[in-house]
Amino acid sequence: MNVLTMDKEKAQQRIAQLSKELEQHNYNYYVLSAPTISDYDFDMLLEELIKLEQQHPELLSQDSPSQRVGGKITKEFKTVKHKYVMLSLANSYSREEMTDFDERVRKGLELESNTLFGAEIEYVCELKFDGLSISLTYENGKLVQALTRGDGVQGDDVTTNVKTIRSIPIHLKGNYPSLFEIRGEIFLPRTVFDEINKEREDIGEAPLANPRNAASGTMKMQDSAVVAKRKLDCFLYYMMGDNLPFKTHYENLQEAKTWGFKISERVKVCRNLDEIFDYIDYWDKERFKLPFDIDGIVIKVNEYAKQEQLGMTAKSPRWAIAYKFKAEQVSTVLESISYQVGRTGAITPVANLKPVLLAGTTVKRASLHNADIIGKLDVRVGDYVFVEKGGEIIPKIIGVDLSRRAEGLVPVEYINRCPECDAELIRKEGEVAHYCPNENACPPQIKGKMEHFVARKAMNIDSLGGETIEQLFKTGLIKNIADIYDLKAEQLLPLERMAEKSVNNLLEGIELSKQVPFERVLFAIGIRHVGETTAKKIARKIKSIEVLSNSTVEELLQVDEVGEIIAKSIVEYFSNEENRNLIERLKNKGLQFTLSEEQLEGASEKLKGLSIVISGVFTKHSRDELKELIEKNGGKNSGSISGKTSYLLAGENMGPEKLKKASSLGVKIISEDEFINLLS
């Protein structure tokens, strides 16, 4: 039956059925890593659920699988006291300290010293995930609260953001206790971390430091839709409550799997120190093969009764300890420093090292980031430097062995000209990187811009990869992105690796790219600081490249998410005559530089000149949909209330401060229905 004609009773039944199916598919994919349907089929089920909930907003539950995509805004994270204090673990760094821990446990339990095959104590060994600790409370099988560690006594309520993490169940299945708490670690998988950093580097932003900091920062973001896009994951590792099904930690973890929780398969019960040391030694070597970061091993007494008998200190439990891995570190010679030029012209100094084995791989190079880092380290060519990998993927220089510094080594003089095109470098106020300003004649910048232009999220010209771009650039067939659209079969066929089929595929891909919508074309042309999301906002607001190219900084600042740095970068881009000529050539080749008729459909000037602030939760539209309606009808989305605010569009759970400020300034407050009437 068509969802648009489904009555309320049938819709309710279908919503319940879809919700159950989608949660099961989430569990299969994110917990079991064994999906039973394709991503497309999953998306179709989710789309059907969203449409039904839009048709019958009274049936929308806050626990619906549709809410996993986020959309709620949390301006302030409420601080809540933990029911059970979240203590940190004591750390150990050697076998001697682990032996001391075992002796303290035995003494506390009044047991004899450990023997090789003694089984008086069972320990559970687990990986120590390097992320953000979280405590989840479930009541009658439903997630009711998620708290960060905070200071251990109280933490921040991040329930809305946690619900976007697909590996954390919102509803449980099976025979679970009516009320319990389960703790775990939220983390960012390395592949996701790499993707985020690549996107940031593409738009000239500084990369995130490491997955741990990125996970922690993500959980405190105000927009849960952004949190959802970060693809966080979570392992659960400890349960607390009055009616747990088993008397041991390990058995309860295995039972928690059946309720829908993601429990690590790498948990192991050990019956003596030798087994513990074997586990530690194994993961000290194998940790670099994991798809996420760990920084040690956690060892816990298995039986709850023994845990209770041992008790706690003021800072940590006596029945558990963390064995911390030493970050792998070696000393080697810095042989030279070379300088790489990125797509945006940013210069990255690279340390060329005497090859050395580190964390299972031979390291020859390490990033030195920028001139400030070189100065801070006082690193000099010829120095013995300390190189560390730890949980990081890319090696880094962390210091200099001054005791081995030879006489006559001179401080590094940072380059002042581009190593590729000899242009004089610039360093803008407030930025750490030096830049080559010769963007249209510097080879690495040209090739980098081309690779960005053809990428999947930009023009999506699949058959034009990095190697082909290099080949076409070397032969002189393409010198900028506009040249791509001048390529002919007779030019390509004589080249190496260019058979008739590959040439046809390439030309067909180029032709198809002419249908890519304006917002992606705007992202593709590679204006510094203009990322995928910002390009979309600008395209929706400004609608054509002609208007954009003549916009002032002040006009651009009226666009959502465009600050002064982005606005100045856009104005600077279009003030360059070469860039304007490039855009003109692309327009003549048929690329989309205005919003299409389909995208303009329903647009109006009904809200022209009106500044609207959105606050609260709405039933008929998401906040993003309301923002889009405001922009589509000529209005301006504003984040804060001022004397210039036309309306406060108020939903449920609106912040009291916004309401108070709107009332004091005489700003008219309207409901969702009243807003829709404005557009009718």
State the DSSP string of 41-80.
Answer: HHHHHHHHHHHHHHH-GGG--TTSGGGGG---B-SSPPEE
Short-list 612, 96, 438, CA closest to 449? 438
128 labelled catalytic = yes
209 burial (CB, 10 Å; 0-12 / 13-18 / 19+) is exposed
Write phi, then psi, for 162 (nearest 5 degrees).
Answer: -65, -35
Write phi, then psi, for 167 (nearest 5 degrees).
Answer: -85, -5
| Residue 346: DSSP 8-state | B
From CA 229, how far away is CA 71, in angstroms rounded? 11
- Longest CA–CA span in the chain (Å) reads 87
Short-list 112, 125, 238, 203, CA closest to 455? 203
From CA 222, how far away is CA 142, in angstroms rounded? 23
615 burial (CB, 10 Å; 0-12 / 13-18 / 19+) is buried
* Backbone dihedral region for residue 263 (phi beyond 0: left; psi -120 to 50: alpha; all else: beta): beta
From CA 654, how far away is CA 239, in angstroms rounded? 35
Q: What is the CB neighbour count within 10 angstroms for residue 61?
A: 13
Could you list the beta-strand ranges (E) of 577-644: 611-615, 636-638
Interaxial angle between packed helices 532-542 and 623-632, expressed in degrees from 0 to 180 and rounded to the nearest 10? 40
Q: Which two tokens stand for residue 209?
A: 């430091």
Short-list 558, 533, 557, CA closest to 631? 558
Contact 388, 331 (CB under 8 A): no
Look at strands 268-270 and 123-129 and give their pairing.
Answer: antiparallel
Among 10, 83, 107, 128, the one annotated catalytic: 128
Contact 151, 175 (CB under 8 A): no
Task: Kindly list the catalytic residues.
Answer: 128
